[in-house]
Amino acid sequence: HQHEKEPMHDGALRNRGNCAHTVKPNCVFVCVFLQTILVGDSGVGKTSLLVQFDQGKFIPGSFSATVGIGFTNKVVTVDNVKVKLQIWDTAGQERFRSVTHAYYRDAHALLLLYDITNKASFDNIRAWLTEIHEYAQSNVVIMLLGNKADMISILFSEYSVPFMETSAKTGVNVDLAFTAVAKELKHRAIQHPSEPTFQIHEYIEAQKEKSGCCSYF
């Protein structure tokens, strides 16, 4: 944080009206100040995500729910411009909701998290988005994050089962799922001694990248 020198006044933010931020010309230290809020159900990993981003570590162990709200400042350089992110970590528990709503209005960006292993946290996204639309500025930047992606690889390594996400609706990875299985079976049936053994995991990984799976805009 030694680069921080010119934090904007909170008042400047409140006066910004339509959420526009100021880029200071020829600035050396902090040029843009952005308020970001992490929201989502309790236990989806908001605090953990912030600790990972800020300190590059993950502290496993017992879960202690956030009480109220707190923030961490982080300066990132984007296209040679120093951007100070003030990241607010909110409590996901219902009883703190009225406290956190008060912070939505000043947010430039909202990171909405769900836990990919917890269906209820996914189902609640609609309710979160309704709240966001009610309390935040209309042009707030919203990013939806499916956290705990590592849990997939735990299943994968436990059972050694290849994994990919498909959509029967859009067709994403549908061909690949069947082709990969067909290739595996073909290699088992007809294996030329000179041929390297077919690695279905590697094949899927290589093909998945081409289809640009898993980011949706």
The residue from 21, 24, 29, 43 that contacts ligand GTP (CB under 6 A) is 43
Q: Is 31 in the site for ligand GTP (CB under 6 A)?
A: no
CA dist list (Å): 91 to 51, 77, 99 = 15, 28, 9
Question: What's the closest the beta carbon of residue 29 comes to ligand GTP, in angstroms?
Answer: 30
First-to-last CA distance in the chain?
32
Q: Which of 56, 60, 196, 212 contacts ligand GTP by CB under 6 A?
A: 60
- Backbone φ and ψ of 41, nearest 5°: -55, 160
The residues in 144-183 that bind ligand GTP, with binding defined as CB under 6 A, are 147-148, 150-151
Cα distances (Å, whole numbers) of residue 24 to 10, 32, 56, 99: 16, 7, 29, 32
Taking the complex as a whole, the smallest distance from the CB of residue 135 to ligand GTP amounts, in Å, to 17
Residues 120-149 that bind ligand GTP (CB under 6 A): 147-148
Give the closest residue to 185 by CA, choosing from 203, 172, 163, 168.
Answer: 203
Contact footprint for ligand GTP (CB under 6 A): 42-48, 60, 63, 65-66, 91-93, 147-148, 150-151
